[in-house]
């Protein structure tokens, strides 16, 4: 019997690199999946690629910064599956790169809307389901950027500091109800988001920026989406039954130099 047989996991940002990698591994371990993304066609393609039958998967479109759309994806999941065992609160955007005086206000607001409000709304509507059940595991996607300051990234860093704060607060609120809340904090991961950050950081030499980012990691390389997925899945699983309010860095040792 696989670890996730009979379990229902919701993943937001499910068409992105980390979301897709996590969905694949969970599907292989028997989970039923509610996959949420702004791009409905992309998330439907994930389900097709995984070969999941309708009984084990649902594709849901949502802009996570819109409260009513978050409530809808939670309601649709419960309607189809009757429960939510795990929630990978993963959707996020990177914004742009600029010093604070030049940082566009509209982009700052957009980053906080998705990364902070989106995470908050997910917690707001999934937590009552899990409290009623008397169990559940939530994993928020924070970032190494939520633990340090990075010049030029006032939007993204601020948003991920907020996600870490929410993780710590909500974990304490729900612990008496048998619900666990943790976060993964990826470093530089080989995904579309990092491709954009490389371009934003050094527009004339994105490849050079990539080499510099990788060289700054003690392990000397980017991480892969699968490596973040492995940690998220551990936290979602019963193997982590006594783990809550923890922030797991997945960064090749970079944050702890």
Strands (E), the chain: 8-12, 32-37, 57-61, 86-89, 136-141, 179-186, 247-250
Q: How far is CA 74 from CA 47, 59, 60, 125, 158, in A?
A: 18, 12, 10, 7, 26
For 81: left if phi > 0, alpha if psi spans -120 to 50, otherwise beta; the answer is alpha
Please give the positions annotated as active site. 156
CA 174 to chain centre: 19
Which helix (H) or strand (E) element contains residue 165? helix 154-174
Distance separating alpha carbons of residues 205 and 215, to the nearest angstrom: 15
Q: Report the half-sphere exposure of 77 (CA within 13 A, side-chain side).
A: 31
Coil, helix or strand for 44? Answer: helix
Q: How far is CA 37 from CA 83, 139, 184, in A?
A: 20, 17, 19
Note whether 13 and 91 are within 8 A (CB).
Answer: yes
Note whether 116 and 162 are within 8 A (CB).
Answer: yes
């Amino acid at each position: 019997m696989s670890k996730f047989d009979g379990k229902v996991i919701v993943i937001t940002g499910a068409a992105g690199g980390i979301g897709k990698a996590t969905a694949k591994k969970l599907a292989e371990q028997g989970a039923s999946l509610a996959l949420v993304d702004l791009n409905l066609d992309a998330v439907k393609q994930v389900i097709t690629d995984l070969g999941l039958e309708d009984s084990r998967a649902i594709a849901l479109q949502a802009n996570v910064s819109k409260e009513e759309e978050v409530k809808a994806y939670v309601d649709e999941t419960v309607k189809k599956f009757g429960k939510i065992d795990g929630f990978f609160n993963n959707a996020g955007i990177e914004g742009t790169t600029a010093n604070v005086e030049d940082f566009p206000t509209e982009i700052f607001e957009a980053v906080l809307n998705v990364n902070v409000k989106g995470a908050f709304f997910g917690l707001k509507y999934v937590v009552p389901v899990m409290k009623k059940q008397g169990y559940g595991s939530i994993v928020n996607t924070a970032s190494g950027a939520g633990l340090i300051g990075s010049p030029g990234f006032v939007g993204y860093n601020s948003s991920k500091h907020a996600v870490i704060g929410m993780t710590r607060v909500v974990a304490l609120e729900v612990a008496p109800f048998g619900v666990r809340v943790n976060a993964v904090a990826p470093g530089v991961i080989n995904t579309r988001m990092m491709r954009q950050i490389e371009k934003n950081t050094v527009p004339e030499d994105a490849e050079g920026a990539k080499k510099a980012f990788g060289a700054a990691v003690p392990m000397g390389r980017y991480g892969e989406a699968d490596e973040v997925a492995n940690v998220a899945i551990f936290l979602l699983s019963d193997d982590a039954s006594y783990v809550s309010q923890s922030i797991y860095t997945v960064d090749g040792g970079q944050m702890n130099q």
